[in-house]
Amino acid sequence: MEHLDVLIVGAGLSGIGAAYRIQTRCPDRTYAVLEARDAIGGTWDLFRYPGVRSDSDMFTLGFPFHPWKAAKAIADGPSILDYLHETATTYGIDKHIRFGQRVVRASWSSADALWTVETADTAYTCSFLYVCSGYYDYDSGYVVDFDGKNDFQGQIVHPQHWPDQLDYTGQRVVVIGSGATAVTLVPAMAGTAEHVTMLQRSPSYVASRPAHDAMSDRIRAVLPENLAHRLIRGKNVVLSTAIYNAFRKWPAHAAWLLNSTVAKQLPESIPVDPHFTPRYKPWDQRLCLVPDADLFKALRNGSASVVTDEIDRFTPRGLRLRSGRELEADLIVTATGLRMVALGNIQVTVDGRAIAPHDTFVYKGMMLSGVPNLAWCIGYTNNSWTLRSDLTSQYVCRLLNHLTATGTRICVPEVDPAEYDAPPRPVVDLSSGYIRRAAQILPRQGTQGPWRLRQNYPRDLITLRYNRVDDGVMQFTP
């Protein structure tokens, strides 16, 4: 059985970043990356639907150690995938990746201070397990069991499993959903399909921004690459953090600003209410990005439309709505959301005791109470994923180096029992449907100290980079 000091699960954005940090900050530690699929990229290799792109700017979604060089700040999926391949190759990370290794079980032995990590056909041991597979179920998205689906004579597609070579030229397309995927699909398909209808039960907040960042372009034109990247990255962090905090502090003003901005971009035939007036406060759910106002351009030129109604059932020719209206379609895309999983659906045991993630609390947004030598890498919901995931990887390296320096082998965060008396809050604390559906499987966050997860990069930067590792909550054993 092969032993590695560190096993990283997942070769996507988080896993590649984690591998870089381990090999540069803990150079004496051996490591491998276990990837379930046959290619790197994670989300950016899995999702292949039309228009797939980032919702965050690439100066913050990209790695701080490998500056984003392309022209567009809001990048398409294939460009992001190329960037990940380039990063893995440049730093030799690709040589440490084991493909086709889906981790199914991880068993901790306190007596040996080791994890035994099992895949379908192989087993490894490691001293530290770092799960970097995010929290989405890669095998299946959320599928609503609509009445009459089998009656529909056209094709039904879920964006997570987009068929290769799907030709929708000249077809009538209905995209069910109002989240980021639907908002991306509609303008991307509108130029090829006969018509695209976005059918939503309730709207989301949307905001336009240019795909090119003019100020960043000017900065890159006059400053050295690395200095320009740090300056642009800092600018974007400050701006996004300030906007988020302002929106949360003054939600009514934020809603008015978003809705009035959208109203100016809509054709007269599409009123902002009910089609773009959500029933929740801004940032109770993620804000949907519309780069270069592409969605509104499609709505204005008539190649796309939006319908706010509920589905009664599928029919042979399309969809019948609760209002009695019928939408005819040749292709229906069910952008109805994602499914979430905790710890990559790995069955975790500690000294023979099965760990239910929902019964644990998240320490500093990464480790689970009562679970030794394991970290789970997740990103921000209000900012670029990588900002948080990279801080997590840097902290894991600090923790590993602390173990070496103190001659200890085991580290485990122990939660104050009083936290169990507070109302449970999932680690991802938004009101989106896919998060509510996962509330009973995700770890919890606490009410104070390192058990509370704050969506605040500047604060986390100080806490994770400079605060003491031995903080009295983390327990160390030789």
Cβ–Cβ under 8 Å, residues 241 and 388: no
The residue length of the chain stands at 478
Cβ–Cβ under 8 Å, residues 53 and 61: no
Can you tell me the distance from the alpha carbon of 147 to that of 358, in angstroms, rounded to the nearest whole number? Answer: 32
Please tell me whether the peptide bond between 274 and the residue prior to it is cis, using omega within 30 degrees of 0. yes
In the Cβ-directed half-sphere of 304, how many Cα atoms lie within 13 Å? Answer: 25
Tell me the backbone φ, ψ of residue 136, rounded to 5 degrees.
-100, 145
- Cβ neighbours of residue 229 under 8 Å, at least 6 residues apart? 59, 64, 67, 68
Per-residue pLDDT, 167: 97
Torsion, Cα of 383, 209, 282, 458 (10° steps):
30
Tens of pLDDT, residue by residue over 398-419, are 999 999 999 999 999 999 888 8
Tens of pLDDT, residue by residue over 226-262, are 999 999 999 999 999 999 999 999 999 999 999 999 9
Task: List the one residue out of 20, 15, 21, 62 whose CA is nearest residue 35.
Answer: 15
CATH of 149-334, one of 3.30.70.2190, 3.50.50.60, 3.40.1030.10, 3.10.20.880: 3.50.50.60
**Strand extents, DSSP E, 155-256:** 155-157, 172-176, 195-200, 206-209
Q: Which part of the chain has CATH 3.50.50.60?
A: 2-139+339-477, 149-334
Can you tell me the distance from the alpha carbon of 76 to that of 53, in angstroms, rounded to the nearest whole number? Answer: 4
**Confidence class of residue 453 from pLDDT cuts 50, 70 and 90?**
confident
Task: List the one residue out of 336, 378, 469 whose CA is nearest residue 136.
Answer: 378
Tell me the backbone φ, ψ of residue 415, rounded to 5 degrees.
-85, 150
Torsion, Cα of 242, 244, 248, 249 (10° steps):
10
CATH of 2-139+339-477, one of 3.20.20.20, 3.50.50.60, 3.40.50.12780, 3.40.50.720: 3.50.50.60
Say whether pLDDT at 109 is over 70: yes
Q: What is the mean pLDDT of residues 358-382?
A: 95
| Pair of tokens at residue 412 | 């485990």
Say whether pLDDT at 379 is over 70: yes
| Pair of tokens at residue 208 | 């336009």
Say whether pLDDT at 136 is over 90: no
Tens of pLDDT, residue by residue over 174-206, are 999 999 999 999 999 998 999 999 999 999 999
| Pair of tokens at residue 33 | 């990356």
Tell me the backbone φ, ψ of residue 417, rounded to 5 degrees.
-55, -25
Task: List the one residue out of 365, 342, 371, 362 whose CA is nearest residue 461.
Answer: 365
Cβ–Cβ under 8 Å, residues 468 and 450: no
CB burial of 42-62 (b: ≥16 within 10 Å; e: otherwise) equals: bbbbbbbbbbbbbbbbbbbbb
Per-residue pLDDT, 422: 80
Q: What is the mean pLDDT of residues 274-278?
A: 95
Can you tell me the distance from the alpha carbon of 24 to that of 458, in angstroms, rounded to the nearest whole number? Answer: 23
Tens of pLDDT, residue by residue over 302-335, are 999 999 999 999 999 999 999 999 999 999 999 9
Q: Coil, helix or strand for 146? A: coil
Cβ–Cβ under 8 Å, residues 465 and 391: yes
**Confidence class of residue 450 from pLDDT cuts 50, 70 and 90?**
very high
Cβ–Cβ under 8 Å, residues 205 and 282: yes
Q: Is the dihedral of CA 229, 234, 235, 241 positive or negative?
A: positive
Per-residue pLDDT, 112: 97
Tens of pLDDT, residue by residue over 79-90, are 999 999 999 999
Of residues 287 and 440, the one with the higher pLDDT is 287
Partners of 363 in beta bridges = 367
Task: List the one residue out of 466, 185, 193, 476 whose CA is nearest residue 329.
Answer: 193
**What single-letter DSSP state applies at residue 157?**
E
- Three-point CA angle 439, 443, 449, nearest 5°: 120
* Long-range residue pairs from 386-390, CB within 8 A, at least 24 positions apart, any chain: 386/13, 386/14, 386/17, 386/60, 386/61, 386/62, 386/63, 387/60, 387/237, 387/457, 388/457, 388/460, 389/13, 389/14, 389/17, 389/18, 389/132, 390/17, 390/21, 390/63, 390/64
Can you tell me the distance from the alpha carbon of 383 to that of 381, in angstroms, rounded to the nearest whole number? Answer: 6
Q: How high is the mean pLDDT of the chain?
A: 94
Partners of 234 in beta bridges = none
**What single-letter DSSP state applies at residue 332?**
E
Residues of the chain above pLDDT 90, percent: 86
Tens of pLDDT, residue by residue over 6-64, are 999 999 999 999 999 999 999 999 999 999 999 999 999 999 999 999 999 999 999 99
Query: Strands 172-176 and 155-157: what pairing?
Result: unpaired
**Confidence class of residue 437 from pLDDT cuts 50, 70 and 90?**
confident
Per-residue pLDDT, 419: 82
Q: What is the mean pLDDT of residues 345-352?
A: 97
Per-residue pLDDT, 431: 64
Query: Strands 31-34 and 97-98: what pairing?
Result: parallel
Q: What is the mean pLDDT of residues 153-166?
A: 95
Read off the pTM.
Answer: 0.95
